[in-house]
Structure 1
Amino acid sequence: DTRVARQRLAAQKASVTEKQGRYRRLLALQAAGGASAQEVEAALSDAESALAALTDAQMSLSRMTITAPLGGVVTGRFVETGDLVSPGRILFTVSDLDAIEAVLDVSPKDIFKMVKGMPARVQTPNGWVKAAIKRIEPTADPLTGLFSVVLSVPAGSGLSPGQALEAQVQDEDIADAIVIPYEALKQIGGERTVVYVVAEGVAEERDVITGGSYGGAVRVLSGVEPGERVVVKGSDRMFPNARVWVQEDK
């Protein structure tokens, strides 16, 4: 165990100190004619052997010391004191409780109402805390048909990994949200984001402010009104007052 390994390490350190000291004393005596070359050589060999034993003791102890790749809290233990373990075996689970994420399962009919950045709240042992949509998985689980929505939860919420919870996504005006395809956006000079709204067969350039995103769509906070049509295909080649022919869906 580690106690025995530490005792061995301490003993080897003491041995190295002793044998290196003896070698230095004999070396000084040899210079004064008080020690033979054979005695000095034997002392040097003893010191080198002690140093090798110390290195071996350090290696043995290092193999008994388990270091996690990140700081956090031990939330799972799969080994007991005295167990023999092999490389690759999971011994502990360490969780970073300062970076908690909550995962919601959302139905297909509701997923399109949600966008990245949308506010939410999560029920914790300390009451409701604010959260926000961090990520929306673009594909549904093939077994359940549900989409995973990941919420970022602030540190100190009191939640534990694997804990079931209640959460609510909050956006009172989501029913009136304007969502357009990403393809409709055009970047100008790295500073402006515009779309081209079709009005009477002509493309009108509009600056827009965008909100959260989901998959291939983005929410427009300003610049486009409900019911207006925007150019999607070829928007990167569009320019103000260009003639546009609208192809109606059949």
Structure 2
Amino acid sequence: MKSKQVREKIRSGEFQTNTSGACDEYVQANVVILPKEYAFDFFLYTYRNSQACPVIDVLEAGEYESRLAKGSDIRTDVPLYHIYKNGELHEKKNDLLDLWKNDFVTFLLGCSFTFESQLLENGIFLRHVECKKNVAMYKTNIPTVQAGDFSGPLVVSMRPISNEHIDKVVEITSRYPNFHGAPVHIGEPSEIGIKQIEQPDYGEFVEIKENETPVFWACGVTPQAAAVQAKIPQMITHAPGHMFITDWTNKDFMK
């Protein structure tokens, strides 16, 4: 299906699962929506932590159509939203129509699903895609750089990679700085504060086999951890793995 068709299915409630593997050739984006009074500090936070939070579009206060997706509606075109209030996950919703405010500013952040499509094209096996699972994500002991009220740990996504393909994976993903780029860590999870690899903070764990190494990339869920720590009155994000699908192809954003 084309990106517009998937957005229409999401908007109608026909498609409500995670978007990993959907519209592989199109850029998918993490979503952060917050009141205008917090927008500058958040933009500064993304600038200071660009590997985890690479901004690919910003919608001005009250706007809900992205320039990356003609006819889109950020209030309805994400399969599942997380609503945070005062740093706590308050509820999950399939649309924001009854919550929308004219002072909401929306940030779209690059997503690792873009480089996943390129890995698959190059014959790199990704177990979570094969198993139709959401990628495993973990909070680390690596701090992000604070901006205003926003701070917190770097969140990473993990993929088991065959040892013979690690160099190739690093080379391919480094071509996509707008989508988290090269890995931030390869190997022992405890070195970045992950004590139980089998228990991700978000997403679903997949087996790491004997001839494989866990490889970790900066993740767009990082702002959700920052929202919890900031305790701002209201912040809305995509549910992990449930992305906004644009009309831009992955190649449009190549370095």
The TM-score bracket by the shorter chain reads under 0.3
Kindly indicate whether structure 1 or structure 2 has the higher relative contact order, using CA contacts under 8 Å at least 6 residues apart: 2
TM-score by length of 2: 0.19
